[in-house]
A = this chain, B = another copy of it.
Amino acid sequence: MATEQTKMDRTERSGKTQNAISPTRQDDYPEWYQQVIKAADLAENAPVRGCMVIKPWGYALWENIQRTLDRMFKETGHVNAYFPLFIPLSFFEKEAEHVEGFAKECAVVTHHRLEAKPGGGLEPKGELEEPLIVRPTSETIIGAMFAKWTQSYRDLPILINQWANVVRWEMRTRLFLRTAEFLWQEGHTAHATSEEAREETMRMLDIYERFAEQHMAMPVYKGEKCSWERFPGAVDTYSIEAMMQDRKALQAGTSHFLGQNFARASNITFLNREGVEDLAWTTSWGVSTRLIGALIMTHSDDDGLVLPPRIAPRHVVILPIYRNDEERQAVLEYCRTLAKELGDKAYGEGRVEVEIDDRDMRGGEKTWAQIKRGVPIRLEIGPRDVAAGGVFMGRRDRSPKDRQSIGRAEFVATVTDILDDIQATLLERARAFRDENTRTITDRAEFEAYFTPANAARPEVHGGFAISPFVDDPAVEAELAKLKVTVRCVPLDFERRPGKCLFTGKDTDRWAIFAKAY
């Protein structure tokens, strides 16, 4: 076994051409996505329709996302609280567009106990007077509380965030991207003026953009949603939109200016500075475990998951290599002191996280397991490395074959620079990919060709993002639906300039991002 281990390692070092994930992105993108998740052991389908089990490695990603966003929310004056899982039907009905938007896909609790039924088994009993909806989002229940808490302008603003699970009874589900239950945060705020609520809406959108780019290494367009893509009940919805490697868009976070719609529905009133009763202005904003799907599809390759260091639960994995007990002792000792030195170094919001993988597995298999898990830096350390006082390093942003020997002291001194470099490389690569696959289109025929797959058997192969003139008109929605294309957003950073809508021919100075989307 020991000898075999070394052999495997040599074979592996001498070059392996097959990919670790089958199929590749090129061959079958949706299946590749499922296989990356499986190979990295991130999550799996639960034996409950549409629900997922988030496994430890996947959950650790969520914990890192939570920790960073939670800090960003607190730095901007928000506090966490917790509201009930259940929303009485009567609350849910208060905002007409809202209930319309969620009624078709919600889990309804109707009974509060089980009793034995004749012939065996149990059945629901104790019917509730009023059915309870398992929250798909919490505007109505939180609005009811805000109404209680708000008497005067001195009680405003209320700046609250909740980390919670929510349920939307989706018919077609996919791990992380669309599941019946998912984890998220939902911010809910109330303000005395429209201006303040608008500022808050944009502040949180900016935080999402910063988080996506700086931590997830995922470039995003930040912009306003069109009328038919708005959150049900919102006045304006803003989103961040990322491009996945199949050139489809993924909405990665939303921030809603709710105007006074929910304040009116929930009766959130206050006495303003002039002593006159007024309706509050509210916002809500959220990101979910969907971000993990976005992370996977932005960076992973045909060898599996690729994690940006700022989100990775481990930064360095050390793979000790030895043939016998004597070597084992020397190698492990070397690995442990190295791990200690690395672990003492500050990185991001904590320290460099190091793992020694001394599982009883063949070396090659173990290395590939760590590649598939996406750990940013791998160090293979054998007796030769110990003798030379070095490490044999592989970076997850480079080919598995592309590895180098570095002096131990040099590696320790530069490990955070290497992590920063991996982080920057992943962001640049994703940005370059997005920019290469984004085209300004002002001609309808070109637009249609851009979004029509050249090969009907490969519907995922199409243009990418189109930047085209936009008017917010139902006729546009209808034309786009035929092409299975959506308006992602009107980016806030685009200059206004004259154009003509490709579908209505109307003049406009607004341009939008159009794309197929998740």
Q: What count of chain A residues pass the 8 Å CB interface test?
A: 62
Chain B residue, CB-CB nearest to A110: B110
Number of copies: 2
Partner of A112, one of B62, B89, B93, B105: B105
Answer whether residue A86 sits at the interface, using C-beta atoms and an 8 A cutoff: yes
A47–B88 CB distance below 8 A: yes
Select the stretch in A114-122, A228-236, A430-438 that faces chain B: A114-122
If A56-B79, A122-B93, A167-B85 touch, whether A109 touches B109 (CB-CB below 8 Å) is yes
A87 within 8 A of B: yes
CB pair B84–A52 under 8 Å, yes or no, is: yes
Establish whether residues B145 and A53, one from each chain, have CB atoms under 8 Å apart when the complex forms. Answer: yes
Residue of B nearest to A129 (CB): B49
**Chain B residues closer than 8 Å to A79, beta-carbon distance:** 56, 59-60
The yes or no answer to A302 lying at the interface (CB within 8 A) is no
Closest to A82 in B: B54
In the complex, which residues 70-129 of chain A have their Cβ closer than 8 Å to any Cβ of chain B? 79-89, 91-93, 99, 103-115, 121-124, 126
Contact yes or no, A106 B110, CB < 8 A? no
A131 within 8 A of B: yes
A106 touches B113 (CB 8 A): yes
Which residues of the partner chain B approach A84 to less than 8 Å between Cβ atoms?
46, 48, 51-53, 181
Q: Does A257 reach chain B (CB closer than 8 Å)?
A: no
Which residue in B48, B112, B133 is a CB contact (below 8 Å) of A132? Answer: B48
Inter-subunit contact B106/A108 (CB<8 Å): no
- A108 B114 Cβ-Cβ under 8 A: yes
Partner of A91, one of B47, B89, B99, B104: B47
* CB nearest neighbor in B for A361: B154
In the assembled complex, the Cα of A112 lies from the Cα of B104 at a distance in Å of: 8
A244 at interface (Cβ–Cβ under 8 A)?
no
Contact of A113 among B87, B103, B113 (CB under 8 A): B103
User: Chain B residues with Cβ under 8 A from A62's Cβ?
Assistant: 82
